[in-house]
């Protein structure tokens, strides 16, 4: 498996160098390889498929426009995930999200009346929507860790690698995020 990862890295390096040399069409290979993964991170972050599609496109545009800044010090996947998180965080700072937040209060989402987990599929969808809504209120540093670990299911080590922080910091930020979310969730 390690050999397969090395091969993938070598192929990606060649593609990136061709794009940087002027063969712009080669970038589509990177889009095809990672579009589902980037979409998955963003949709878990924002909760809306339509919004996630738009933000996924934005993430790839930013990656393309900033490709010369990729230094091959991390994997392309790690670099692209950071861009996706930044795009998602920008969304939470956007006017569109703030307007939605103003018009949808936590009370309207019935946060206090949470049924027992696993009772229905509708519950699971509603609970995830609530988590995303509250996660949108977190500071970006805490939100990134929460999204990667709790919603995307990544390990502490992988999250640390993506964010460029120590594993202990991942644990600390995840704990702070959970505490703040719990407080926002029930004090609404």
> What integer pLDDT is reported at residue 44 of this predicted model?
87
What is the average pLDDT score of the chain? 83
DSSP notation for the chain: -HHHHHHHHHHHHHHHHHHHTT-GGGHHHHHHHHHHHHHHHHHHHH--HHHHHHHHHHHHHHHHHTGGG--SSS-HHHHHHHHHHHHHHHHHTSHHHHHHHHHS-TTTTTTT-PPPTTS-HHHHHHHHHHHHHHHTTS-HHHHHHHIIIIIS---HHHHHHHHTS-HHHHHHHHHHHHHHHHHHHH--
pLDDT digits (tens, 9 = 90+) for 91-112: 988 877 766 655 554 444 433 3
> What integer pLDDT is reported at residue 3 of this predicted model?
63
Q: How confident is the model at residue 46 (pLDDT cuts 50, 70, 90)?
A: confident
Question: What fold, for 1-103?
Answer: Rna Polymerase Sigma Factor; Chain: A (1.10.1740)
Query: Of the ranges 53-57, 117-121, 168-172, which one carries the lowest mean pLDDT score?
Result: 117-121
Arch. (CATH architecture) of 119-188 = Orthogonal Bundle (1.10)
Residue 130 reports pLDDT greater than 50: yes
Q: Where are the domains of the chain?
A: 1-103, 119-188
> What integer pLDDT is reported at residue 124 of this predicted model?
67
């Amino acid at each position: 498996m390690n050999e397969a990862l090395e091969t993938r890295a070598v192929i990606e390096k060649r593609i990136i160098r061709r794009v940087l040399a002027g063969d712009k069409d080669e970038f589509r290979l990177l889009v095809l390889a990672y579009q589902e993964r980037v979409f998955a991170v963003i949709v878990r972050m924002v909760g809306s498929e339509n919004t996630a599609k738009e933000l996924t496109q934005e993430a790839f545009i930013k990656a393309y426009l900033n490709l010369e800044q990729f230094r091959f010090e991390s994997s392309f996947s790690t670099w692209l995930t950071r861009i996706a998180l930044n795009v998602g965080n920008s969304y939470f700072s956007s006017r569109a999200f703030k307007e939605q937040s103003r018009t949808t209060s936590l009370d309207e989402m019935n946060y206090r009346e949470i049924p027992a987990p696993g009772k229905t599929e509708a519950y699971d969808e509603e609970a995830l929507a609530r988590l995303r809504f509250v996660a949108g209120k977190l500071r970006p540093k805490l939100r990134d860790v929460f999204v990667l670990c709790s919603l995307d299911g990544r390990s502490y080590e992988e999250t640390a690698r993506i964010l460029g922080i120590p594993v202990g910091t991942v644990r600390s930020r995840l704990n702070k995020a959970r505490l703040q979310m719990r407080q926002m969730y029930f004090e609404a």
